[in-house]
Structure 1
Amino acid sequence: MSIVDIPRAKPPRSGRRLRYRLRVAAVAAALTLMCALAGTVAARVYHGQLLVLLVAGAALGAFAIGFALRNRPAFLAPSASLLGLAGYLLAAIVLTDDGTDPLPATVVDALVNAVPRTLTALIPVEPAPDTVVVPVFLTWLAATLACEFAIRYGRTLLGCLPPTLLYAAGLYLVGPNADGGTLYAVAFCVLAAAALAVTAAPPERRPDSDAVVDGPAPSKAPALMGAVVTTCVLLAAVALLGPAAARLVTSSPGDPREYVQPPQLTDIDLNPLVRIAEWSKFPEQELFEADTSGDSWMRLAVLTEYDGTTWQAAGDFRTAGTVIPGSGDADFTADVEIIGLGGKLVPAAADPATVTGLPIAVNLDSRCLLTPDGLATGSSYHVESALATTDPAAAETARPNLTDAATVAVPPGTPEIMATIADYVRTTYDTPFERAQGLADFLGGHYAYNPEAPSGHDLPALGFFLGSPVDAGGQRGTSEHFAAAYAIIARLVGLPSRVVVGFEVPGGSSTVTAGQGSAWPEIDFEGVGWVRFDPMPAPDAVPVPPEDTLEQMEEETPSPEEDSGGGGEAEDFNDEALEQDGDFNEEAGAEDAGIPVWAWYAAGALLLACVPLVLKARRALRRRRRLTRGGPADRVAGAWAEVLAAAARAGVKVEGSANAEEAAARLAPLKGDIGSLPRLVNAAAFAPHAVAEEDARTAAAIATEYPGTIRQQVKRWKRFLT
């Protein structure tokens, strides 16, 4: 088939032109669907169907522009496509924006932070301005390139490459967080086969208003047969080889989110327990306003890991959308407006299900929330939570959940008073729940609340709080001390524990002050979950000195001898039968005799005398190793090291950064002959293969003779010792 230019007056052959246009349209449709399908692969980890519509629109829009301008100058289609991409991205940002920030600021933030936030977003990813920019942009770009390659230049196989790369990028973004998507792969292969089967003609064979197609019409049978055969082969390959390949894969694909740094906490959020002291001293400080659907404990942080100095949260925060995965049905709502609460941690009742009004990241281990931009006065958000409820009756008979090692780990160096209290709880109460409640009752009944107590929950500070007398400042603390001490002692008893920092918020509209902030411990029970315990003393309660209760326990606890029945009567150490005057004293004298003192002094002197011999032997072995092991270049380097070591013994040290010539100049005052060794060292460093065995022997001879030539310049004590 050929194209012949003819005058415009001659009409083209409309049948051939129609068939060609149908082929071009079929290729364009197949590639458009391939780009849309490749973008949809990534949409499997997004919430809802909004991203599917956006990527499909991007593929259709990019191909429509390229297809409409296929016969225009080559620079026009990319320029128009770039303008179309800008407009489409702006529309996508407006469509997914919640309107909390000005549109220009939202656009800039979405473009700057699109890649890291897409990779750190919690799955399912909420379609937001900063999480839809990347898939929409890549889909538009793939569709533009595919249209140019396949439609303008007639290279359909090359046109299939951009959507294929987009498909691979979508698989990488999904990682192990969705199913294999076999149907997506089959559909993608079928579309590629269809596009190749109806391959578009190159531009020199394109009929248009100035050209007609001459010659006989080509047979449609080979093209149809090729399309059928190609499609059948691809489907058979996917059906037969797909399961076999799947069985060969023994590991899940990597997750790109592992390589992106998650949102980071500020200093005051890394250890939120230290905020309790400030809140206790200024209880009237207004932190935020809350309008809740009922009474609740709004958590700020959940701390499970303790190293003896600080309590910290486990796990990282991951960017999330408005929907927090893993929560139940929301039955609690709260509208919050920040007044004076700083940091990045966001108060919310457990477990948060949806959050609107703030960009949110969530810690899936603790279910706590964080806003990457930090809280500021006037910030507001709406949170819906599935309140965590526990069955008290089930907790009373449940066993502790010991599956998480972090919740039972006890740092070394715990104060003795903690072990004493743990023994008291263990011997006084039987079941795990009774011990958890008994520990709370013990701390609440024997210690007092003092808002002026200094902050600190490291082991020495807690030991001072629990064991020091009242007149020295002990036995008085804030909820920081009570909660931290409870959690550690609970672990000594065998109960998994953690510390929670948050606020007690009444139902309805109220202003939450610093006085409502506190810390409390929780214990994990099998089949029940985390149960909150209150170790704080009752208001106006007079604490009982803990030493009274603990001493009484020691008096009532029988000694091991009494338990075994061997402690009936005290032994009479004045019994004359126990006094021995002969053999007993002789045996004791024999035991005291032992090795004579002079033998120890002699052994020490012998060891000191051996030190120079050991050092000399060590130096000789090192010299032998350097001069005999390795190739010629290695032995030349070893000889140079021996020369520098001998010069150092004589008081001339050469810096490691000095080259061979500079080192030789430094060694010149010693009057020792190093001959051609600097030249050999340079050769060994820059051309090691050029160094011969003869060169290595020459370097060894120089290194062997050099220490003797400068021996008189070495201090006597060094010569004696080394």
Structure 2
Amino acid sequence: MAAALRAVPVPLALIAMTALAGVVLGRVYAGPLLPRLLAGAAFGSVLVSVAARRLPSWLVAPLSVLAMAGWTAWSMRQAAVLAGLPGSLADVTADAARNGIPRLLTAMIPIEPTPDTVLVPLVATWLAGLTGAEVALRGGRVLAGYLPPVLLYAGALYVVGPNAAPAIWPTVVFVAVAAVGLVVSARPGPDAGAVDAGPATTLRAAVRLRLAAGAAFGTVVVVGLVAAIGPTVVAQVDGRPVDPRRYVEPPQVETLDESPLVRISGWALHPEQELLRVRTERPDGAPAAGAAAPPDIDRSARPADDLPRGDGVRIRLAVLSDYDGVTWRVGATYRNAGRILPTATPAPGSTMETVRQEITIGELSGRLLPAVATPREVSGARVAYDPSTGTLIRPEGLTPGLRYTVTSDRERPDENLLAIANVPAGDSVARVLRVADGVPEPLRRLSAQLAEENGAPYARATAVEQFLAEHYRLVADAPSGHAYPNLAFFLFGPRNAGGQRGTSEQFAAAFAVLGRLSGLPTRVVVGFESTGDGPVRAGAAYAWPEVLFDGLGWVPFDPLPRPDEEPRPVEEDFRPVPDDPPPSEAPEPTVEPTASPEPVAAADGPADGNGLPTPVLVGGGAGGLLLLVGAVLLTLLAMRRALTRGRLERGDPGERIAGAWREVTDALWLAGQPVGPDLAATEVALRARHAVTGSGPPGDTAWPPGDTAGSPGDGAAEQAGAQAPASAGAARYGSAESTGTSRADLAAVRRSQHGALLEDTARTRAADEVEELAGLLNQVAFAPGTATPEQAARAAAVATAYVAALRATRSRWHRLLWSVHPGPLRRPR
């Protein structure tokens, strides 16, 4: 009987130690479901081993695994029902088995107990209890049987990491339970009946006294060591535990979802495409008003102000916070999340309104999940979430017919506080204040002009909003693009060539860039405008900018023009000054005769009694001037050559390709045919071909005017002059044959024509290769880091050949001054 009683505490200790791992892990889970399921697994695993103690050892493991399968199936069902996940038990369990570990390590804290986040801890707990019970009870090695629960407990601490407070009390209880189990399971001393009562009693008393003294001494020593060494050891340990989530790649999205802004133009061309269907409920559960006949909203032609304020519901698809001068990107780190998402803290000057929508996906593709900002509960779909931007994704991708319900807290700032609100600054908002290198100078000047006239942050934001709404046209067929050159063409390009018109993509991107240049933290949001019920079509998709204000949060702005207003030309309010205006041709100074000319000194006489002779002074001055001019020309030649070498030979392959392209554009500038920043690389290549061969589009410059070194007409005249010898030679050749010229003269004419033909062929080849250089430049811009050294070397060769070919078409005097012209040294690099 006593032996049976001594055997009971060991299983109880194993159950308690194994269940405590669930308590520790449950600190990062939402609700009490996980600790309860793991406690059941701990109890069941140890109970099976105790009940099967009399059976052969090889039969215990199969029986325990069968019991584990039953408990796991029941637990999966409970978790699926609680999370509201559709699908059969087999499908849910299979998905959890495939994705349990990565989803557990990438889940958002607090983790919702769904089948995929419960399966791994459940199985690990059961196996730890089974192994510990078999070793401690069947093998009789209690201390060794504690090893599996200890490892499970340590694993729970590691998974929690820095995401919860230190588990002090669970650890104390864990150690105390383990100690009690060891003490109770100690083997008894010799049987009292085998020894005389008197000596046995004396012996037992002596042993107990010795053990008590040894225990007391050992306790004092341990406590003393802990007090002496503990602080030193603790000081060597990092105060923040390692987070295993940083070693696991979170859910990723495709490029189309990383930058959905480029989809605006495609949706605008197919406005009737039904992307999704929405049904909005009021907080009391009744459907929103107007559900019977929801009007369609075509966002490609109608701005949000067309709708009465409060009737339109903005459904957000993605928030784009990162801009590198080429593309606006979400830049999110998604974490698997359950139904309950982290609660957003409202700004002090804002009010929160609860919006509950049932959304059915139609023809919308990708992984981004539409929802009203800011979502706090999602049911019907497994999602991943980025709290910093509030963007939702479905890792498996969207499918037609997918239906889910999302409850959001829509934040409404107090408009009365906007006029006096400030904007934050510092490292916390550096991401939404960053301006990438390469901003066109006209954008900087426009931003500075708007900022000078408006001091307060809200006034600056409103000024940018009004400037875009008053001067630009909203169209549906504008090409996509929001890189710096695209924005420069949208803002300053000539109207008759497609400038000053665009979709909401260009309006929102231009607002965000101009805002950041004036010190406003901005971002771009892509979404849809909906009445709250009914279909949401592609024409309702649009982009809008937002500005972050202290105490108010993110405030949306609407820079789209009114449909009934004709935009005013940009030149009326903003006319930027060129960076390097061409020098005006000043008239030659007129020498006026003097009334009483001074007497001329003798040519060989001194100017005064102590001065040098006049010829010496004149000769010395002329020589010094020539030396000075020569030094300046040599310095300019050396600087130009150093600039060319630096562009073509230094930096990574991408920088060298960009440098080769600058050599081509500088050559066009020197030839009197500059290209504006609004032109694409392929358009510049066509103009470069025209500059050499005379074919292709004319070299008109786009507004605003840039640097010029001559008119296109001058260049055409020089080109015609360069081609004149060949035409003259042909004329001479024809006349020679008709008049019977000698064979020697005819051979000379043929050689002259052949040389001109070879020269024209070389020029044509050099012009054709510029298109190849334009392709390499586009590769560098849209796929950074993919250029190779061979491509950079090829770009340098193409640029060198083209510059030589273009220079050969200029006049002799122009070719002489080509290498020392200071223009490329002061042009923007």
Give yes or no for TM over 0.5.
yes
Q: Does 1:63 find its partner at 2:87?
A: no
In structure 1, the residue matched to 2:564 is 540
CA shift digits 1:203-232 (9 cap, x unpaired) = xx9xxxxxx999689979959969986997
Say which of 478, 483, 494 aligns to 1:453. 478
Matches within 5 A, 1:88-167: 88-97=71-80, 98-167=84-153
Which letter maps to 1:20? A
Distance (whole Å) between structure 1 residues aligned to residue 213 and residue 132 of structure 2: 22
Q: Does 1:352 find its partner at 2:352?
A: no
Q: Does 1:391 find its partner at 2:414?
A: yes
Q: Does 1:526 find its partner at 2:550?
A: yes
Distance (whole Å) between structure 2 residues aligned to residue 226 and residue 54 of structure 1: 44
Q: In 1, are the aligned partners of 2:316 and 2:525 still within 8 Å (CA)?
A: yes
Which letter maps to 1:288? L
Q: In 1, are the aligned partners of 2:353 and 2:411 still within 8 Å (CA)?
A: no
1:413 Cα offset (Å): 2.0
1:346 Cα offset (Å): 0.7
In structure 2, the residue matched to 1:318 is 335
Q: In 2, are the aligned partners of 1:417 and 1:466 still within 8 Å (CA)?
A: no
Distance (whole Å) between structure 1 residues aligned to residue 40 and residue 218 of structure 2: 27
In structure 1, the residue matched to 2:250 is 262
1:188 Cα offset (Å): 0.6
Distance (whole Å) between structure 1 residues aligned to residue 383 and residue 518 of structure 2: 37
Distance (whole Å) between structure 2 residues aligned to residue 584 and residue 519 of structure 1: 72
Which letter maps to 2:402? S
Matches within 5 A, 1:163-562: 163-199=149-185, 246-292=234-280, 293=282, 295-328=312-345, 331-403=354-426, 404-507=429-532, 509-551=533-575
CA shift digits 1:332-391 (9 cap, x unpaired) = 211111111111111111211111111111112201111111111111111111212212
Q: In 1, are the aligned partners of 2:30 and 2:111 still within 8 Å (CA)?
A: yes
1:586 Cα offset (Å): 7.0
Distance (whole Å) between structure 1 residues aligned to residue 73 and residue 121 of structure 2: 14
CA shift digits 1:508-562 (9 cap, x unpaired) = x2211111111001111122211111100011220001111114x98xxxxxxxx
Q: In 2, are the aligned partners of 1:142 and 1:162 still within 8 Å (CA)?
A: yes
Distance (whole Å) between structure 2 residues aligned to residue 538 and residue 407 of structure 1: 28
Q: Does 1:593 find its partner at 2:610?
A: no
1:238 Cα offset (Å): 12
Structure 2 residue matching 1:345: 3-state secondary structure: coil
Q: Which moved more, 1:249-258 or 1:236-245?
A: 236-245
Q: In 2, are the aligned partners of 1:194 and 1:227 still within 8 Å (CA)?
A: no
Residues 346, 79 of structure 1: CA spacing in aligned structure 2 closer, same or farther, 3 A cutoff?
same
Distance (whole Å) between structure 2 residues aligned to residue 443 and residue 600 of structure 1: 48
Which letter maps to 2:254? T
Which letter maps to 1:518? Y
Distance (whole Å) between structure 1 residues aligned to residue 118 and residue 51 of structure 2: 26
Residues 64, 344 of structure 1: CA spacing in aligned structure 2 closer, same or farther, 3 A cutoff?
same
1:121 Cα offset (Å): 0.5
Distance (whole Å) between structure 1 residues aligned to residue 436 and residue 66 of structure 2: 61
Structure 2 residue matching 1:373: 3-state secondary structure: coil
1:406 Cα offset (Å): 1.8
Which letter maps to 2:627? A
Distance (whole Å) between structure 1 residues aligned to residue 504 and residue 25 of structure 2: 47
1:89 Cα offset (Å): 1.3
Which letter maps to 1:304? S
In structure 2, the residue matched to 1:47 is 30
Distance (whole Å) between structure 1 residues aligned to residue 505 and residue 382 of structure 2: 29
In structure 1, the residue matched to 2:16 is 33
1:24 Cα offset (Å): 1.0
Q: Once superposed, what is the RMSD of the aligned Cα atoms?
A: 3.4
Matches within 5 A, 1:1-16: none
Distance (whole Å) between structure 1 residues aligned to residue 414 and residue 455 of structure 2: 20
TM-score normalised by length of structure 2:
0.62
Residues 448, 76 of structure 1: CA spacing in aligned structure 2 closer, same or farther, 3 A cutoff?
same
The count of aligned residue pairs is 556
Distance (whole Å) between structure 1 residues aligned to residue 16 and residue 217 of structure 2: 18
Distance (whole Å) between structure 2 residues aligned to residue 455 and residue 57 of structure 1: 58
CA shift digits 1:147-173 (9 cap, x unpaired) = 001111110000111111001100110
1:234 Cα offset (Å): 12
TM-score normalised by length of structure 1:
0.71
Q: Which moved more, 1:582-591 or 1:171-180?
A: 582-591
CA shift digits 1:79-127 (9 cap, x unpaired) = 1111111111111111111341222211110011110000000000000
Instruction: Could you tell me which runs of 5 or more consecutive residues in structure 2 were left unpaired when the two chains were aligned.
Output: 283-287, 289-311, 346-351, 578-587, 594-599, 601-613, 639-829
Which letter maps to 1:260? V
CA shift digits 1:56-78 (9 cap, x unpaired) = 00000000000111121101111
Q: In 2, are the aligned partners of 1:151 and 1:200 still within 8 Å (CA)?
A: no
CA shift digits 1:314-338 (9 cap, x unpaired) = 3310111111114258722111111
Residues 336, 366 of structure 1: CA spacing in aligned structure 2 closer, same or farther, 3 A cutoff?
same
Q: Does 1:75 find its partner at 2:49?
A: no
Structure 1 residue matching 2:36: 3-state secondary structure: helix
In structure 1, the residue matched to 2:580 is none
Distance (whole Å) between structure 2 residues aligned to residue 67 and residue 234 of structure 1: 38
Q: In 1, are the aligned partners of 2:258 and 2:331 still within 8 Å (CA)?
A: no
Distance (whole Å) between structure 2 residues aligned to residue 225 and residue 69 of structure 1: 38
In structure 2, the residue matched to 1:714 is none
Distance (whole Å) between structure 1 residues aligned to residue 366 and residue 255 of structure 2: 8
Structure 1 residue matching 2:250: 3-state secondary structure: coil
Instruction: Could you tell me which runs of 5 or more consecutive residues in structure 1 were left unpaired when the two chains were aligned.
Output: 1-17, 206-211, 555-571, 605-722
Residues 574, 469 of structure 1: CA spacing in aligned structure 2 closer, same or farther, 3 A cutoff?
same
